[in-house]
């Protein structure tokens, strides 16, 4: 039985909006670190929204929406398939230059409650790894395909 809550990690109100997807990626990073120590502090939640606001990374998204995104994603991250939720949220923006923001935000959330838990450190390490290895969109190079095709036929 498929639960609608589990089929889509977050409702994207504008599916084609890269800005909405970027905001979701930022929020999921903050939520992952906040959830890592099994105690989501309001100060961690506030730090995520403040970070996004201060850097004007999602100026068109109301603050209330960012808080709602955080709450929804933090709840989803407590489910057994949390890794899929993180990957599915980060993948659409893997080509954007967000990596430094994602890592900085994760570190700020870990420090927000003035107690960096070892599980938060592990979450940050995981996020660093993910930002390095997430599949990037591939450009199709017709010229390259034409060059490789004769080589394949020769073998």
Hunting for tokens 């409650």 — which residue is that? Answer: 113
Is a pLDDT exceeding 70 seen at residue 148? no
Give the model's pLDDT for residue 135. 59
Alpha-carbon gap, residue 153 to 94, rounded angstroms: 34
Task: Report the chain's terminal Cα–Cα distance, integer Å.
Answer: 48
Alpha-carbon gap, residue 2 to 96, rounded angstroms: 32
**Which among 106, 93, 71 has a CA at the least distance from the CA of 25?**
93
Give the model's pLDDT for residue 153. 52
As a whole number, the mean pLDDT across the chain is 79
Is a pLDDT exceeding 70 seen at residue 92? yes
Give the model's pLDDT for residue 72. 94
- Summarize pLDDT for 8-61 with one digit per residue, the tens: 444 444 444 778 888 999 999 999 999 998 888 899 999 999 999 999 888 889
Alpha-carbon gap, residue 22 to 126, rounded angstroms: 19
Give the model's pLDDT for residue 16. 45
Q: Report pTM.
A: 0.73
pLDDT band at 64; cut points 50, 70, 90: very high
Q: Which residues of 107-125 are buried (b: 16+ CB within 10 A; e: fewer)?
A: bbbbebbeebeeebbebbe
Alpha-carbon gap, residue 25 to 87, rounded angstroms: 9
């Amino acid at each position: 039985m498929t639960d609608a809550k589990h089929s889509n990690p977050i409702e994207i109100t504008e599916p084609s909006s890269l800005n909405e997807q970027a905001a979701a990626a930022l929020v999921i990073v903050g939520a992952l670190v906040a959830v890592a120590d099994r105690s989501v502090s309001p100060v961690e939640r506030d730090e995520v929204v403040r970070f996004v606001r201060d850097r004007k990374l999602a100026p068109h998204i109301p603050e209330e929406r960012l808080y709602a995104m955080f709450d929804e994603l933090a709840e989803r991250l407590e489910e057994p398939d949390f890794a899929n939720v993180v990957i599915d949220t980060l993948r659409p923006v893997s080509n954007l230059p967000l990596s430094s923001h994602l890592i900085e935000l994760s570190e700020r959330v870990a420090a927000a409650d003035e107690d960096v838990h070892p599980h938060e450190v592990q979450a940050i390490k995981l996020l660093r790894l993910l930002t390095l290895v997430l599949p990037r969109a591939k450009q199709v190079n017709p010229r390259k395909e034409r060059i490789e095709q004769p080589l394949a036929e020769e073998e």
